[in-house]
Amino acid sequence: MVSSRRDLLKYLSLAGAAPAVSLAQAPAKGPFTLPPLPYAFDALEPHIDARTMEIHHDRHHAAYVNNLNAAVAGHPDWASKSITQLMAQWQSAPEAVRTAIRNNGGGHINHSFFWNVMKKNGGGKPSGELAAAIDKKFGGFDALKDQFNKSAMGVFGSGWAWLIKDGGGALSIGNTPNQDNPWMHGGTPVIGIDVWEHAYYLKHQNKRADYVAAWWNTVNWDFASEQFLKKA
Ligand code: MN3
């Protein structure tokens, strides 16, 4: 039992561990890098709190990047692929690193997308061609929200809910477990929400529905429209 700080330092020293543990992630060494958050940590307040954003970006996303770089180290053919190529091809990765590429590559691309699908003073409604496509497919924005919320609430454990454009341009709503994502299945996400508890627990504890409801106030519909209009 370690009973004091001095004992702890002695214990860590004896165990060969570094006595000072920095909470900040070391810069990634490898082909993949952590993109900066495109706004301040507190930009999404009060809907998503600054502390959650800081931990989520600086630690969780950083860890996915570091672990992805570690996974492709020693596999130059995989280290040279883009993140979307990794997602499309992960099942043919060497068995020793396949799961690491799936989970950490997924974590990297999902979070890179997630930061951009939110913005300060976001929310409101989609417009233009995206709004027209949503009306046609779902019968209106409220119906889309209802179906998307059900999908987000239907994730058992950790995962994501998405509005997806498939290769033929059709919209659909679906969810994925863990860090799996539409890029793995040939789709393009239009919007997506992280429903891992780390995305909301500090502010909303176990109340995922409250977080999902708050999240709609952050959506960057301009970014969503760009994704929808992208040529496959
Ligand atoms: Mn997350």
Q: pLDDT per residue over 108-126, tens digit each?
A: 999 999 999 999 999 999 9
Mean pLDDT of 18-35: 63
Does position 132 have pLDDT exceeding 80, yes or no?
Answer: yes
Confidence (pLDDT) at 228 = 97
Banded pLDDT at 167 (limits 50, 70, 90)? confident
Every domain of the chain and the residues it spans: 5-116, 128-229
Ligand 1: centre distance to CA 122 (Å): 19
CA distance 174 to 190: 12
Higher pLDDT, 27 or 226: 226
How would you classify the pairing of strands 188-194 and 159-165? antiparallel
Does position 16 have pLDDT exceeding 70, yes or no?
Answer: no
Ligand 1: centre distance to CA 19 (Å): 29
Confidence (pLDDT) at 26 = 53
Does position 76 have pLDDT exceeding 90, yes or no?
Answer: yes
Mean pLDDT of 151-173: 96
> CA–CA distance from 104 to each of 68, 81, 120, 134, 198 (Å)?
5, 14, 27, 31, 16
What is the tens place of the pLDDT at every residue in 210-226? Answer: 999 999 999 999 999 99
Asked if residue 105 lies in contact with residue 97, where contact means CB atoms within 8 angstroms, the answer is no
Q: Is 80 helix (H, G, I), strand (E, B) or coil?
A: coil
Ligand 1: centre distance to CA 179 (Å): 8
Q: Which tokens belong to 191?
A: 């919007």
Ligand 1: centre distance to CA 17 (Å): 28
Q: Which tokens belong to 158?
A: 């950790």
Does position 154 have pLDDT exceeding 70, yes or no?
Answer: yes
- Listed residue (80, 41, 76) closest to 58, CA to CA: 41
Beta bridge partners of 177: 159
What is the tens place of the pLDDT at every residue in 63-74? Answer: 999 999 999 999
Give CA 85 to chain center in angstroms: 17
Ligand 1: centre distance to CA 55 (Å): 10
CA distance 208 to 8: 37
CATH of 5-116 among 1.50.10.20, 1.10.1060.10, 1.10.287.990, 3.40.50.150: 1.10.287.990
CA distance 144 to 12: 53
Ligand 1: centre distance to CA 143 (Å): 26
Does position 6 have pLDDT exceeding 90, yes or no?
Answer: no
Does position 91 have pLDDT exceeding 90, yes or no?
Answer: yes
Banded pLDDT at 10 (limits 50, 70, 90)? very low
Confidence (pLDDT) at 29 = 77
Banded pLDDT at 8 (limits 50, 70, 90)? very low
User: What DSSP state is assigned to residue 35?
Assistant: P
Match 């672990």 to its residue by tokens: 67
Confidence (pLDDT) at 105 = 98
- Listed residue (60, 39, 14, 200) closest to 121, CA to CA: 39
Ligand 1: centre distance to CA 3 (Å): 34
- Listed residue (136, 185, 135) closest to 162, CA to CA: 185
Asked if residue 68 lies in contact with residue 33, where contact means CB atoms within 8 angstroms, the answer is no
Ligand 1: centre distance to CA 114 (Å): 9
Q: What's the mean per-residue pLDDT of the chain?
A: 90
What percentage of the chain reaches a pLDDT higher than 70? 88
Rounded to 5 degrees, φ, ψ at 31 are -75, -20
Q: Which tokens belong to 3?
A: 């009973």
Ligand 1: centre distance to CA 74 (Å): 27
Q: Which fold has domain 128-229?
A: minor pseudopilin epsh fold (3.55.40)
* Close Cβ partners of 113 (under 8 Å, ≥ 6 residues apart): 189, 192
Ligand 1: centre distance to CA 132 (Å): 30
Ligand 1: centre distance to CA 105 (Å): 13
